[in-house]
Amino acid sequence: MPTPLRLGLAGLGTVGVGVIRMLASHSDLLSARAGRKIEMIAVSARSRTKDRGVDLSGFTFEDDPISLACRDDIDVFVELIGGEDGPAKAAVDAALNAGKHVVTANKAMLAIHGQSLAEKAERAHVELRFEAAVAGGIPVIKALTEGLAGNQISRVMGVMNGTCNYILTRMENEGVSYNEVFADAQALGYLEADPNLDVGGIDAGHKLALLSAISFGTKVNFSGVELEGIQRISITDIEQARDMGFRIKLLGVAQITGRGLEQRMQPCLVPASSALGQLENAANMVVLEGDAVGRVVLRGAGAGEGPTTSAVMSDVIDIARGFRRFTFGQPASSLKDIQAAQVSAAAAFYLRLTLKDAPGALAKITRALADAGVSIDRMRQYGHENTAAPVLMVTHKTTRAELNHALQGISDTGVTLDEPVAIRIEDV
Ligand code: HSE
């Protein structure tokens, strides 16, 4: 009978507790699938005494996650503490130095330190796995590193922050303001301790940077992600985008162009009828495009106890089976250091303007667009009862530089009453 795989778990939040529960409830299934028993040996968390609704009496409790990571009687260190540095990073370093495999859900740590940690894991001949770090229960790391390993990946896209998708879909479906839904999301415990990680697009940007590294064989480059959050999205934009057949999503897109590695995480318009456009509430979706396979769309829960535990356990089972895989799908030393594209690929844009209702106002706007080389595809002026005329435009494909030039020209006309809103329309 093979020896059991012995785990040490640091972090007893929702997911840590989920792992303890799954080990208890699925013990036979896990052993059967892994070909050996999987046992929790020791745990670590900030409070020893807090009631978490699970029985921890069978495990040794370590106050210090680093001591846990270095124990002689564990094979795998499961890091569910979170945070890009601090105790999580120190304990993961200690575990790798001690020759332990590491399973983590920590996207922030990997987005910043992924390259050095992957190198360290390879030097120690151990696994560093992070299925739970990207899109929760969706097995996207496995899909990219295994199922699609034979493909040249041309583009990766995804809605990978459930909280933002929840906020945007509730705003659209119920016509309520950003601030109101934000408050509800906070009351429901959806938001991270620092809400800006969610609504500022940072959490989703971390995930995109990890997917890019695997997809394109590049070093993780989070600082190269063009980031914009959803805080400035108004109910007006949501409703008017819908009128034009679009929905607004916090969408990540990564691709390599002639200008370098393009990584964007920003609010985008997508066709309402597309799979991404129809993604509701807190669900996540990742779209992978490979030269041989074509397009693969994965949809599922991106957070929560069950989905994230499911992802953690898939890594643990792989390690129990003796599967070996490079952290980012190829040796860390072979990951390329490609420069971030300074200019995004051309796209159509949605523009919302509020104009003075005066003769010639619209002519000045179309002149400014023409002078910048931006062509109008569709346009609509809404009925209004005051002196402010709301105008919506969809441009033909243009570069961001041309669009910025046009926006400057529009501002110089003096006929706008508000800051124009410009949102990219993504080809999905
Ligand atoms: N806060 C994230 C989300 C889950 O809302 O999707 C953890 O990354």
Q: pLDDT for 90-125, tens place per residue?
A: 999 999 999 999 999 999 999 999 999 999 999 999
Q: What's the length of the chain?
A: 428
Residue 143: pLDDT over 90: yes
Neighbours of 284 (CB within 10 A): 26
Q: Which CATH superfamily is domain 349-425 in?
A: ACT domain (3.30.70.260)
Neighbours of 229 (CB within 10 A): 22
153-159/294-301 β-pairing = unpaired
Residue 414: pLDDT over 80: yes
Q: Using most ligand atoms within 8 A of CB, pick from 107, 202, 203, 206 the residue to mutate for ligand 1.
A: 203
**Domains 5-104 and 140-301 alike in fold:** no
Is the CB–ligand 1 distance for residue 212 below 6 Å?
Answer: no
Residue 1: pLDDT over 80: no
Ligand 1, atom 7: closest residue by C-alpha: 303
Q: How far is CA 354 from CA 334, 406, 411, 418, in A?
A: 51, 15, 11, 6
Residue 35: pLDDT over 90: yes
Is the CB–ligand 1 distance for residue 302 below 6 Å?
Answer: yes
Ligand 1, atom 2: closest residue by C-alpha: 161
Mean pLDDT of 210-232: 97
pLDDT recorded at residue 342: 83
* Cα separation, 99 vs 87, whole angstroms: 18
Name, in order, each residue with C-beta under 8 angstroms of 403's C-beta and a sequence gap of 6 or more.
349, 372, 374, 395, 422
Residue 194: pLDDT over 80: yes
pLDDT recorded at residue 139: 98
Residue 126 Cα to chain centre, angstroms:
26
Residue 198 Cα: closest atom of ligand 1: 1
Is the CB–ligand 1 distance for residue 135 below 6 Å?
Answer: no
Pick the CATH number of 5-104 from 1.10.10.10, 3.40.50.2300, 3.40.50.720, 3.40.50.740: 3.40.50.720
pLDDT category at 382 given cuts 50, 70, 90 is confident
pLDDT recorded at residue 310: 98
The yes-or-no answer on residue 207 being catalytic is yes
Mean pLDDT of 183-193: 91
Is the CB–ligand 1 distance for residue 163 below 6 Å?
Answer: yes
pLDDT category at 386 given cuts 50, 70, 90 is confident
d(CA 366, ligand 1 centre) in Å: 41
For residue 208 the two structure tokens come to: 């995109």
Q: For the chain, which residues make up each domain, given as ranges?
A: 5-104, 140-301, 349-425
Q: Tell me which amino acid residue 13 is.
A: G
Residue 191 Cα: closest atom of ligand 1: 1
pLDDT recorded at residue 344: 85
Residue 275: pLDDT over 90: yes
Share of the chain above pLDDT 70, in %: 100
Q: Which of 47-56, 274-283, 377-386 has the lowest mean pLDDT?
A: 377-386
Q: For residue range 314-373, list pLDDT tens digits in order.
A: 999 999 999 999 999 999 999 999 999 988 889 999 999 999 999 999 999 999 999 999
Residue 203 Cα: closest atom of ligand 1: 8
Name, in order, each residue with C-beta under 8 angstroms of 423's C-beta and a sequence gap of 6 or more.
237, 241, 248, 267, 268, 269, 349, 350
Residue 34: pLDDT over 80: yes
pLDDT category at 12 given cuts 50, 70, 90 is very high
Is the CB–ligand 1 distance for residue 145 below 6 Å?
Answer: no
pLDDT recorded at residue 189: 87
Is the CB–ligand 1 distance for residue 127 below 6 Å?
Answer: no
Bridge partners, 79 (sequence order):
10, 104
Topology (CATH) of 140-301:
Dihydrodipicolinate Reductase; domain 2 (3.30.360)
CB 38 within 8 A of CB 23: yes
Show the CA angle centred on residue 115, arms to residues 109 and 119, nearest 5°: 115
Closest C-alpha among 167, 252, 168, 164 to residue 207: 252
Q: Where are the beta strands (DSSP E) in 258-293?
A: 260-271, 283-290
CB 349 within 8 A of CB 396: no
Active-site annotation holder among 207, 219, 249, 364: 207
* Cα separation, 79 vs 7, whole angstroms: 10
DSSP class of residue 2 equals P
Mean pLDDT of 301-311: 96
- One-character DSSP codes across 77-101: EEE----SSHHHHHHHHHHHHTT-E
* Cα separation, 97 vs 79, whole angstroms: 15
DSSP class of residue 259 equals T
Residue 133 Cα: closest atom of ligand 1: 8
pLDDT category at 383 given cuts 50, 70, 90 is confident
pLDDT recorded at residue 3: 97
pLDDT recorded at residue 299: 98
Is the CB–ligand 1 distance for residue 203 below 6 Å?
Answer: yes
Q: How far is CA 4 from CA 52, 74, 113, 319, in A?
A: 26, 10, 31, 11
Residue 161 Cα: closest atom of ligand 1: 6
* Cα separation, 21 vs 422, whole angstroms: 47
Residue 258: pLDDT over 80: yes
Is the CB–ligand 1 distance for residue 303 below 6 Å?
Answer: yes
Q: Using most ligand atoms within 8 A of CB, pick from 80, 190, 211, 251 the residue to mutate for ligand 1.
A: 190
Is the CB–ligand 1 distance for residue 301 below 6 Å?
Answer: no
* Cα separation, 185 vs 36, whole angstroms: 41
CB 256 within 8 A of CB 216: yes
